[in-house]
Amino acid sequence: MQRWKEVPPVWKAIALLSLALLLTAVLALVLRPGEVRVPPSPPPEGQVLSFPTSASTGSPPLLLNDERLFYEPGWGTLEVRDFLAGRPGLLGDFRVQVGEEDVLVADLIAGKCLLYGINPKVLLTLLEVQSGLVDNPNPPPEALDRAMGHPDEGLVGMEAQLDWAVRELFRGTRDYPITTSLILNDGRLTPIPPGAGLGDYAVLRVVARAGDESDLRRVQGNGPDAFVQTYERLFGEDPRLPPGGWPAPAQTPFLTRPYPGEYEVSAVFDHHYPFLKEDGSLISHLGQEAPGLPYDGHDGWDYALDAGVPVLAAADGLVLWSGASNDGCRTPALGVILDHGNGYQTLYWHLSRVDVQPGQRVSRGETLGLAGETGCADGPHLHFGVHFLGRETDPEGWCGSGEDPWALHPAGTASLWLWADRFSPCRWPEGAILVDEADAAFQRSGSRWSEGGGGVGGKALWAASEPHSGVVPVGSEQLGGAVEGGTWRPDLPRAGRYRLYAFIPYWNNATPDTRAARYLIHHAGGETAVEVDQALWVDRWVDLGVYDFTAGRQGFVHLDVLTDEEGFCVWFDALLWVPERNEGGP
């Protein structure tokens, strides 16, 4: 220490600088290629980004065509069973525990892959690459516990390993646009290979999280346990090639409601984005931020069916999978997945009973099971989802004025209106006459109005209900402005019979929706009162009936806030007059 004190200051500075440079060089050598650094932050809440795709990289896939990550035509439970039964490995009759049931591992693989929109062939290839269980008739005992190669103690067992791998592939589709690195099992980061597309990243993500750099080199190599070579050996096709002959999106709506009667919507599809993870933004099919609606990250539609209500097939189809799925909840979820032969699959979740088997053909309206609250359900309801070529899509379509953020995402797809038994809030039959709350043909009285979202065109008006006694005269002009009321008065081009619809917005204004909205319809034959449960009909057109109307502006509809309730929300949005020559309304 004394000698150091005697060193001249200039030499001390040189020595300290040299030591710093040496340490920097050592750290660079030690940390490559698994450099430890903070992963990139996600985009700001609600921001819609332009994402890279495999096409934009200008490079062919390294391991897997993006489309093949999500979908394989016709592959469901029976196909996975037949495949494993025909391989030399032990998995053909291997069973795992799901809840209180022993199920074939083939059923487990099919169910998890179809639920998360993952091609079962991709998971089966990774299973062979990581443990050899598909083709090895005498695997080491540890292979069954570490089927996907993940060494963590919390992931011991076939079911835990497969569940982790499918979720990791799914998370890969979410994170691909916002990350530049792969996370190794020890927490270090290594760069994503140049030119890697979405499919490549998802596969490499699973291998990296379970291993290290040597595993990444192995799966990208040319050896017998490389990903491409293994896929070709198992399935006789190159996973890097683009698929051919897959269906185009449906141009004609083909779904009908998957339950009898009417039930409330309790959660919507999030177009920003349906990854079952909150990102601070929920954009509905109307193209607007919908704060407070359930729920951020939701990948389907929820309907508040009571326990025991029949759940119906939304179209003719084939049962790809049915049974119990361990989603990490207090109980396994019971569900059914149908394939409709046109690239679309429908998912029915949280059932209390399943009445169909894999491989069974079902007809539109046939009972698949009963509604319940299994899995992660918070109360009885039906979760209804739709996939197109394996990717989540919104059956309500897209009504926004701008581009759909989900259609722009590498894992997303365009959403089209798929309901054949009703029409969209942004498209209606030719010849129909619309009067919206913002039009000159709508007049209102009173002063206590509020504006909300969720209506036709994105906006709607509402006011708080008040109790009434006796019969309220029709027409806002007769109320003298005493209460909030609105009158829709179209200029009809011709006399005739019209079916009348009212659209009910779905919006969180911290006020419960009325169950007793009283529409007074002034038509050629007199006046008719129709009471509507607006809470039941949110986000839908409600049929007010068929009436004769004269040409011009003689007919009108009136609604006010005088109900049998106090402090409830009464919505005033669009009304639609549809000439009766148009068949097949909502």
Q: What is the pLDDT of residues 255-280, one digit of tens each?
A: 999 999 999 999 999 999 999 999 99
Query: Who contacts 450 (Cβ-Cβ below 8 Å, separation ≥6)?
Result: 461, 462, 463, 509
Give residue 22's pLDDT band: very low, low, confident or very high (50, 70, 90). very low
Six token digits for residue 328: 């990490």
DSSP state of 368: E
Of 84, 81, 51, nearest in space to 66 by CA = 51
Q: How far apart are CA 484 and CA 579, in angstroms?
A: 30
Average pLDDT over residues 218-245: 96
Q: Residue 215 contacts by C-beta under 8 Å, 6 or more apart in sequence?
A: 149, 207, 208
| Confidence bin at 478 (pLDDT 50/70/90) | very low
pTM (predicted TM-score): 0.88
Q: Which pLDDT score, from 0 to 100, does residue 329 have? A: 85
- Average pLDDT, integer, range 242-252: 96
Say which residue, 157 or 50, is predicted with more confidence: 157
pLDDT attached to residue 99 = 84
Residues 501, 544 contacting (CB under 8 angstroms): yes
Q: How far is CA 543 from the centre of its chain?
A: 28
Neighbouring residues of 53: CB distance < 8 A, sequence distance ≥ 6: 66, 197, 198, 410
* Structure-model confidence comparison of residues 482 and 16, the more confident one: 482
What is the pLDDT averaged over residues 67-83? Answer: 97
pLDDT digits (tens, 9 = 90+) for 527-541: 999 999 999 999 999
Task: Return the SS3 of 4.
Answer: helix
Residue 111 clears pLDDT 90, i.e. is over it: yes
- Confidence at residue 312, expressed as pLDDT on a 0 to 100 scale: 98
For residue 2, name the pLDDT band (cuts at 50, 70, 90): very low
Q: Residues with Cβ < 8 Å from 105, sequence gap 6 or more?
A: 84, 91, 94, 95, 96, 158, 162
Q: 429 Cβ partners below 8 Å, 6+ apart?
A: 423, 578, 582, 585
Statement: residue 475 has pLDDT above 60: no
Q: How far apart are the first and last CA of the chain?
A: 89
Q: What is the per-residue pLDDT across 166-206, written as a single tens digit (0 to 9) for each?
A: 999 999 999 999 999 999 999 999 999 999 999 999 999 99
Residue range 314-341: mean pLDDT, rounded: 95
Q: What does the pLDDT look like over 488-526, one tens digit per residue? A: 999 999 999 999 999 999 999 999 999 999 999 999 999
Q: What is the pLDDT of residue 48?
A: 45
* Contact (Cβ atoms closer than 8 angstroms) between residue 234 and residue 126: no
Decide: 465 and 563 in contact? Cβ < 8 Å: yes
Q: If you average pLDDT over residues 537-557, what whole number do you get?
A: 98
- The mean pLDDT value for 340-352 works out to 98
Question: What per-residue confidence (pLDDT) applies to 471?
Answer: 45
Averaged pLDDT for residues 564-569: 91
Q: What is the identity of the amino acid at 170?
A: F
| Structure confidence at residue 58 as a pLDDT band (50, 70, 90) | low
The chain-wide mean pLDDT, for the chain, equals: 89
Six token digits for residue 476:
């806002």
Token pair for 530: 């129709």
Question: b vs e for 407-436, b when ≥16 Cβ sit within 10 Å of the residue's Cβ?
Answer: ebbbbbbbbbbbbbebbbbbebbeebbbbb
Rg, Å, the chain Cα set: 29
Among 114-128, 269-283, 460-474, whose mean pLDDT is lowest?
A: 460-474
Query: Which pair of tokens denotes residue 475?
Result: 């027409």
Residue type, position 448, single letter: R
Give residue 586's pLDDT: 53
- Ranking 19-23, 117-121, 421-425, 428-432 by mean pLDDT, the lowest is 19-23
Give the residue with greater pLDDT, 271 vs 468: 271
Q: In this prediction, what percent of the chain has a pLDDT beyond 90?
A: 82
**Nearest Cα to Cα of residue 250 among 68, 383, 424, 395:** 395
User: 534: exposed, middle or buried (C-beta count within 10 Å: 0-12, 13-18, 19+)?
Assistant: buried
Task: Give which of 290, 249, 297, 291 is closest to 269, Cα–Cα.
Answer: 297
Task: Say how many residues make up the chain.
Answer: 586
Note the pLDDT of residue 469: 55
